[in-house]
Amino acid sequence: MIQIENVTKTYNNSVRAVDQLNLTVNNGEIVGFIGPNGAGKTTTIKMLTGILKPDSGSVIIDGYNMSTEPLKAKQAIGYIADSPDMFLRLKGIEFMNLISDIYKVPTDVRKERIKTFASRFDLTEVLDEPMQNYSHGMRQKMMVAAALVHDPAVWILDEPLTGLDPKSAFALKTMMREHADAGNSVLFSTHVLEVAEKLCDKVIIINHGKTLFYGTLDELTARYPDMDLEKIFLEMTAHE
Amino acid sequence: MNSYITLTKTFIASISMSAPQDKRRKIMILILSLFAVFGVLLPVAIAVGVLVKLMTETLLPIGCQALGIQLMFHIICLFTVIFGINVIFNEFYFSNDIEYLLPWPLRAYQIVASKFTAAFYSENIMQVILVLSCIIGYGIGSKMGILNWILSILGIITLPILPLTYCAILSMLLMAFTRVIRNKDRIQKISVALIFLMVIALVASIGFLQNMDIDTYIETLASGDQTFFKVMNIIFPNVPLFVKTFSEGNIVALLAYIVIHVVAVGIMLLLAEVLYFRGVIGLTSAGNKSHKKSLDKLLSQCKQKSPAYSYFLKEVRILVRTPVFFTNCIAINFLWPIFVYAMIKIMHYNITLDFLRSQYAERNLRIQLFFLLGIVGISVLVAALNSLSSNAISREGKHFSFMKYIPVPYETQWNVKAFVGILFPAVGVLIFFLPACIIIRVPVVHIILFTLLSLMSITFVSDMGIYIDSIQPKLIWDDEMSALRENYNTFFAMAIAIAFTAIVCVGGFFLFCNTHITIGFTALILVIILAIANLIVLYLTNRSGVRNLEEQEEA
């Protein structure tokens, strides 16, 4: 479960990136995080993962407060950053082992998971190569696999489908659904509204760091009858 | 022209480090800057200026007063080539922005001109200070007139242009003819190996200076033998022309100086049009794909390790596998014997292992002091020169967020980075020093003491380096070389290390020579000083080091 209460973040004492944001992602839910560029999505995600410290408000992950119990909160998260170009000098298998060690995944369990991810994302042939040899999509798949290798209760994914081929995108979407159905929480940011429409139980739309809407898609379309999601999004963000 | 200006502005902007936001860090950076300027830069500049003044005054009676400053300028130009070639290679061929520049409608000369200007800008600060101090020293020594002072302004900034142009031309020629090796890493390794060989050859050949003390040097000049100058004047014709310009107020020399630079830059830009794209297009960073293991084999080798050990392996693998980090942070730890050899040659010491063995056996206290202070000085300088710790956080670059979102305490990550910063210089120093001690038959107790002093010195520099880097790490960089060269923290750490070495070693020498303290007591004082230095850094780290990491908001 993810809980954000009255979270505010200001950069350089002048730019308010996130303003009094509230959000709860219950167990069993997939929530899509939608907003135009610069709306505050990545800032919010970074506060959720402990990368940034909120100026005020609280972030609670799986029952652990990020400011008072950061290690326990971080242990519960599987995070995919917006850029997959990380530690490119390491081989894929070395990166998987690094993440597994950091999240204390036992040897037998990690072997099984690495095997599963390698098969699901077609990584088997490249695991013994430095990641600088990988294509962008391949790196993204590696990041997804590494982020989930410790089977975290909470998935926080920043544009996770960017660069994935259709097979891998489908595999990830299926995994997200399975994970939520198993009683866990998934929050992911996306610009692809169709994905949000098909996959999410709820969406949160933000702009200028403020929540414009948070609820189910049915509630959203009920508020704007005769409009598809794209038009609703444009309508909402245009008036901000 | 507009493209050139815009590109140059962009490149220069990417060189600069972002200023800290909060007051505490601003004060820390200010203190470090003031220390670096007044504690190291100014004393070095003053020393150089005084040296040139003395040389000028000594050579004045034989009418060769400008030869001293000319010698200094030649040395500056030579070192600009040695240090500049790596920078130019990286700037021209290995920086990450190249793949964005190539598709743009830019001519090769525009890219090269802008990148050259940016490299010149980043390399020029130290040279400006040195050239300026040389001129001041010469001006005072020769009682230069006002017109000469005005004329000297020209060269203060422009003197390194010609050496850097050589670097640019050399790099373009080499890259244009390495079409077989299209792999960036391999080319980088080869080019860095060549530079190392150049440095080693230069330092080793410095033995010729053995006969060049100031008296014999003046005699040589007075006898009309200026072979060294003749050769150097051909390689760097800008130096004699510049010296002639301000020392004699010679306008023809001034015009020739300008023409030489216009021609050199013109040749560089012309070559850029012919060679640059040929060298840069098709470069790949893909690594070796051979000898891949099967998944089953890879999985059979998987074994759970502690987070700290795994983090340590990650640090080492990245350092060893990234050519720039490998050469500048790892390999450099093993080169100090060459520099010690050069220093011994320059100081006219005729030291052999047999001599040291016999002197140590005879309990020559000066030799024991030489070892005692030498191990501290070498350990501190090697640990500072490798930038391992003063770049430990900056090295993360855009992956800095990784340090923040993983469930590993900051203290653990800090300690692993500090350990890496201790491990490599410790191995680099002791791998030569300990066998030398054994050959010289240094008593075991002394060897233990030297090892302790070395480790204490390296630990101090390593912890101090990380602490400095934590105040305001340089997290935005285009290539690994920029992470090292354009990071002020490495400079600050080096400044403190140099000052520390100077105070401890020179102070220790004078204390021993001018008082009646024993060698044992001197060793005890060194242990106490290093313990205090370590405790101070430890206190600072506990007080605000980890907080710096917590509060650092990416780049």
Check residue A62 and give its pLDDT: 93
| Residue B66 reports pLDDT greater than 60 | yes
| Residue B499 reports pLDDT greater than 60 | yes
Output B206 or B368, whichever has higher pLDDT.
Answer: B368
Give A11's contacts in chain B (Cβ within 8 Å). 553
pLDDT in tens, A66-95: 999 999 999 999 999 888 888 999 999 999
Check residue B555 and give its pLDDT: 55
| Residue B216 reports pLDDT greater than 80 | no
Q: Do A128 and B318 touch (CB under 8 A)?
A: no
Check residue A97 and give its pLDDT: 96
Of B295, B302, B307, the CB nearest to A124: B295
**CB pairs A-B closer than 8 Å:** 106
Q: Among B302, B321, B550, pick the best mutation site for testing chain A contact (most A Cβ within 10 A).
A: B302
Output A12 or B242, whichever has higher pLDDT.
Answer: B242
Tokens of A97: 């082992």
Q: Give the DSSP letter string of B260-326.
A: HHHHHHHHHHHHIIIIIHHHHTT-B------SPPPHHHHHHT-----HHHHHHHHHHHHHHHSHHHI
Interface of A with B in 85-104 (CB under 8 A): 85-87, 89-90, 93-94, 97-98, 100-104
Of B289, B309, B314, the CB nearest to A129: B289
- Contact between B421 and B316 under an 8 Å Cβ cutoff? The reply is no
Give the minimum alpha-carbon distance from B328 to chain A in angstroms, rounded to a whole number: 17
Interface of A with B in 164-223 (CB under 8 A): none
Check residue A57 and give its pLDDT: 94
Find the residue in A nearest to B399 (Cα).
Answer: A86
Say how many C-beta atoms besides its own lie within 10 A of residue B531's C-beta: 12
| Residue B129 reports pLDDT greater than 70 | yes
Find the residue in B nearest to A133 (Cα).
Answer: B286
Of A83, A111, A128, the CB nearest to B293: A128
Q: Do B287 and A93 touch (CB under 8 A)?
A: no
C-alpha triplet B241, B245, B250: angle, nearest 5°:
110
Check residue B62 and give its pLDDT: 80
What is the DSSP code (8-state) at residue A17? E
Side-chain half-sphere CA neighbours of A65 within 13 A = 7
pLDDT in tens, B325-334: 988 899 889 9
Give B183's contacts in chain A (Cβ within 8 Å). none
If DSSP codes are grouped into helix, strand and coil, which group holds residue A203?
Answer: strand
Q: How far is CA B25 from the centre of its chain?
A: 25
What is the DSSP code (8-state) at residue B543? I
Integer Cα distance of B514 and B510 in angstroms: 6
Residues paired with residue B249 on neighbouring β-strands, in sequence order: none
Flag whether residue A47 sits within 8 Å of chain B, measured between CB atoms: no
Give A129's contacts in chain B (Cβ within 8 Å). 287, 289, 292
Q: What is the CA radius of gyration of chain A?
A: 18
Q: Residue B319 carries which side chain, given as an amino acid letter?
A: L
| Residue B350 reports pLDDT greater than 80 | no
- Contact between B98 and B280 under an 8 Å Cβ cutoff? The reply is yes
Find the residue in B nearest to A113 (Cα).
Answer: B299
Q: Do B317 and A90 touch (CB under 8 A)?
A: yes
Contacts of A227 (CB under 8 A, 6+ apart): A221, A235
Burial A196-220 (b: 16+ CB within 10 A, else e): bbebbbbbbbbbbbbbbbbeebeeb
Q: Give the DSSP letter string of B464-513.
A: HHHHHHHHS-----SSHHHHHHT-HHHHHHHHHHHHHHIIIIIHHHHHHH
Q: Do A72 and B407 touch (CB under 8 A)?
A: yes
What is the DSSP code (8-state) at residue A91? B
pLDDT in tens, A166-198: 888 898 899 899 889 989 999 999 888 888 888
Say how many C-beta atoms besides its own lie within 10 A of residue B253's C-beta: 19
Give the minimum alpha-carbon distance from A83 to chain B in angstroms, rounded to a whole number: 9
Of B311, B314, B401, the CB nearest to A81: B401
Helix and strand numbers, DSSP H then E, in chain B: 28, 0
Q: Is the pTM of this model over 0.95?
A: no
Q: How many residues does chain B have?
A: 555
CA distance to A57, A203, B363, per residue, from A213 (Å)? 19, 8, 84
Q: Give the DSSP letter string of B14-28.
A: HHSPPPPSSHHHHHH
**pLDDT band at B25; cut points 50, 70, 90:** confident
Check residue A26 and give its pLDDT: 93
User: Chain-wide mean pLDDT for chain B?
Assistant: 86
Say how many C-beta atoms besides its own lie within 10 A of residue A143's C-beta: 24
If DSSP codes are grouped into helix, strand and coil, which group holds residue A83?
Answer: coil
What percentage of chain B has pLDDT greater than the value 70?
91
Check residue A239 and give its pLDDT: 62
Q: Do B302 and A127 touch (CB under 8 A)?
A: no
Output B430 or B96, whichever has higher pLDDT.
Answer: B430
Contacts of B268 (CB under 8 A, 6+ apart): B112, B116, B165, B168, B169, B172
Integer Cα distance of A203 and A214 in angstroms: 6
Q: Do B303 and A107 touch (CB under 8 A)?
A: yes
Integer Cα distance of A18 and A10 in angstroms: 7
Mean pLDDT of the B416-443 span: 94
Helical pair A107-120 and A136-148, crossing angle rounded to 10 deg: 150
Of B299, B317, B550, the CB nearest to A89: B317
Of B287, B307, B404, the CB nearest to A51: B404
Contacts of A49 (CB under 8 A, 6+ apart): A74, A77, A79, A156, B404, B405
pLDDT in tens, A188-224: 998 888 888 889 999 999 998 999 999 998 898 888 8
B482 phi and psi angles, rounded to 5 deg: -65, -35
Q: Do B287 and A79 touch (CB under 8 A)?
A: no
Say how many C-beta atoms besides its own lie within 10 A of residue A33's C-beta: 27
Interface of B with A (CB under 8 A): 21, 285-287, 289, 292-293, 295, 298-299, 302-307, 309-311, 313-314, 317-318, 321-322, 398-399, 401-402, 404-409, 550-551, 553-554
pLDDT in tens, A18-29: 999 999 999 999
- Contact between A86 and A143 under an 8 Å Cβ cutoff? The reply is yes
If DSSP codes are grouped into helix, strand and coil, which group holds residue A226?
Answer: coil
Integer Cα distance of B21 and B19 in angstroms: 6
Give B321's contacts in chain A (Cβ within 8 Å). 89, 130
Give B407's contacts in chain A (Cβ within 8 Å). 70-72, 74-75, 102-103
Q: Do A53 and B551 touch (CB under 8 A)?
A: yes
Check residue B213 and give its pLDDT: 58
Helical pair B108-142 and B2-15, crossing angle rounded to 10 deg: 70
| Residue B212 reports pLDDT greater than 70 | no
Q: Among B290, B291, B297, B304, pick the best mutation site for testing chain A contact (most A Cβ within 10 A).
A: B304
**pLDDT band at B293; cut points 50, 70, 90:** confident
Check residue B79 and give its pLDDT: 84
Q: Do B302 and A110 touch (CB under 8 A)?
A: yes
Q: Do A51 and B286 touch (CB under 8 A)?
A: no
Nearest Cα to Cα of residue A33 among A218, A211, A179 = A211
Mean pLDDT of the B491-505 span: 90
